[in-house]
Structure 1
């Protein structure tokens, strides 16, 4: 990871810290929130197909800046039984010191229950295969499974101004992650849809294996072109799909961007392909998948923090709230709640 990329990621996370400080400041004189780091987290870094140092710093930097005391990283080893130097370097610069060669559903189980060598943690974050995603769901009663982050997916929302050559590249950008990835062009422009459809086979065949075979498979099952009747219908589809990555390539993006509300990230324009979001802009590429962007957000420092409410009543506040609060305790049938106020001795 180059220094500029690390700096951008740290600046983004530091901006999140500034927001945390604002939360700590009293909302009124005697009611506030205390923000503290989660005591221990597990970072799952996938490695079944390739090694991904970018996933290390996307998870490690916000965890370190949040102040998490125990950060555990698990990742599948290479075929030679080792973890690649790039991953180890990314872990070092991200502040991760505890790394275990362990992957798949068993890695999530190890983080949830602990083993003789791997300590149990309170929360796990990171993208993975469908097996990893399923393990998180199964173990969600044991460990905070964090945001669902499974096979990669993307939508490219376009009007007639989108470049068809670039749009083919954009579809393949995320679809090449694996045979279970999904990438869809969503457009109401028939000419663009036909042009892209004609160009895709040649572009796929020009790629090496295994990516070519993965693309052929996912194009037959998950990826392709969604042709709509209007921009409004295209946007409605995007919101229903709730994708991980949304790339918007339209004539007037400022008019369109407020309308898609369900996406892990929204990238804008021909000069912002997903590759930059995946590696170097400073936004986080660990994002909700499988429609979970309906309720989940992009990974940030907040995923490694928790908030605790704090309150202290003065005698004046006690007296002013006594009647309305006991009215509610009586109505809801909680006499002991009411007695804790009515029968309380003055200090």
Structure 2
């Protein structure tokens, strides 16, 4: 692992390690004032509404939670190349989640201090507001730290003026690149984590539904884009499914264009607009293919100019053949 990847992994896992460290320190300092069973679940009014959890079980659950979420965030950051903006969103989301979980779980410990009856323990609703403020502050710190972390997966984009690639007759060529969305990745991971919480703390009937939403967000948070003799192919998610393909015979021209995700397509993910569709993971450069029927298909990805130039060359070759 090179120095850039080590620094990225450190910044990514830091909020969860810090939150766990603070909670362990609190347990060490005030452990003698905590009851053997802790109130860990509260209703909207702040009253304890579930059976208490043993202090050991609460500690094990915290360690597993922070270790699991931290590992997910590190794998997401290092698993595939992301743009600098995507890494910033992913890092900020991790710090926000670490801050929120860290404050909430630590506040729960303080709520249990000197308690003789777990059913009488309260966690006032205003604590959630403080937790949200801590999450925002932590997100800001995470964004600040990304300035000192180089993106190990970022590569320079191609020359936007390139429209063709010089290939000899019969010479084969291909292009591929992974692309991803930090916001969608953060939303997917956070929703998946929330689903596990709901399943354990609320009901097994609702937890899986929340997990499914998180998994869907993760599927559409990354893609593998390739250009070859078959045309333009976009394979979504780690399993490369679902897949979208625009065959060469359906392509008129291809170009590299800068796209604003919200202004041009109304958001992120697989988007359908008037006379155009697209797999939009971020704002920035994209391959834009004009089909023979006049409709456009776009996918945001780095080095889109090279991909567009190769597509035009392959389309020309097919027309000549």
TM-score, normalised on structure 2?
0.20
Structure with greater proportional helix content:
2
**Relative contact order higher in (CA < 8 Å, ≥ 6 apart):** 1
TM-score, normalised on structure 1?
0.19
